[in-house]
Amino acid sequence: MSPRSAPNSHSGAAQLRDDAARHTAGRSRPVGLWPHPVRGSEWLPRGLARQLRGWLEEMGVVCVTPKPLCSLTETSYNVRRHRIDYDDPLIAEFARYFGKPEFRITVDPETRSIAEVEVIRDAVCGCGRFVAEGLVGVSADDAEFKAGMLHHHYPCLAGMGKDIDFNDTIMHISGNILKEMVAEQVKPYKQEVYIVPGKRSE
């Protein structure tokens, strides 16, 4: 039985397999980028994604299926225990510029506010650059929260249905990727607040 006619197979993904092989002629292609990102398991279940990569590998085509798309780096994609490493120069070249957002954040040590944000790698949708512009002038203490809010207000293409692989929405996973990256860079400048219990008044 062919993959196209197999029970419970996703006809769109099966069509994607054939089209990818025909259009790439043995070259690499990050499937999450064409025709559109993997929005959730309902679009491309994990098992079918594995099959798709196998089918294309047999045709000499390297395939990556990042979920979310903004988890793609030059060497891996996906997050947590679902992370998958890959080795392909064409996809890696694309991922140098688009995929998992990466910033170089400069913080003014006196004011502890963000003075500059250089975008090393943007998300494919442009969300990274949008967030970077909105972070300038923000206190290091508030940067992580602000990054999350900016991401939330950007027209993210990730799905809002709960994904069975993460028990969370792909949009939230996408936002957390960005927030964690910002939090790590501003951490040395954050002001620690310690709460000391007061004495009970007589």
DSSP string, 28-40: -EEGGGSSS----
Residue 169: exposure state from Cβ atoms within 10 A (0-12, 13-18, ≥19): middle
Instruction: Reply yes or no on whether the pLDDT at 23 is more than 80.
Output: no
The reported pTM is 0.76
Instruction: Reply yes or no on whether the pLDDT at 30 is more than 80.
Output: no
Instruction: Reply yes or no on whether the pLDDT at 166 is more than 70.
Output: yes
Which pair of tokens denotes residue 120?
């090393």
Q: What is the mean pLDDT of residues 167-180?
A: 93
User: How far apart, in Å, are the Cα atoms of 165 and each of 26, 141, 168, 170?
Assistant: 30, 32, 8, 10
Instruction: Reply yes or no on whether the pLDDT at 34 is more than 80.
Output: no
Inter-residue contact 127 to 105 (CB < 8 Å): no
Q: What is the pLDDT of residue 156?
A: 80
Query: Cα 34–4–162 angle (5° rounding)?
Result: 55
The span from the CA of 29 to the CA of 33, in Å, is: 8
Most confidently predicted of 16-25, 45-54, 137-146, 148-157:
137-146
Residue 176: exposure state from Cβ atoms within 10 A (0-12, 13-18, ≥19): middle
* Secondary element (H or E) of residue 85: strand 84-85
Decide the pairing of beta strands 162-163 and 168-169.
antiparallel
Q: What is the pLDDT of residue 45?
A: 76
State the average pLDDT for the chain: 81
Q: What is the pLDDT of residue 97?
A: 95
Specify the 3-state DSSP secondary structure of 174. Answer: helix
Kindly report, residue by residue over 93-141, the tens digit of the pLDDT: 999 999 999 999 999 999 999 999 999 999 999 999 999 999 999 999 9
Kindly report, residue by residue over 48-94, the tens digit of the pLDDT: 878 877 887 777 778 888 888 899 999 999 998 889 998 888 899 99
The position carrying tokens 């099966």 is: 14
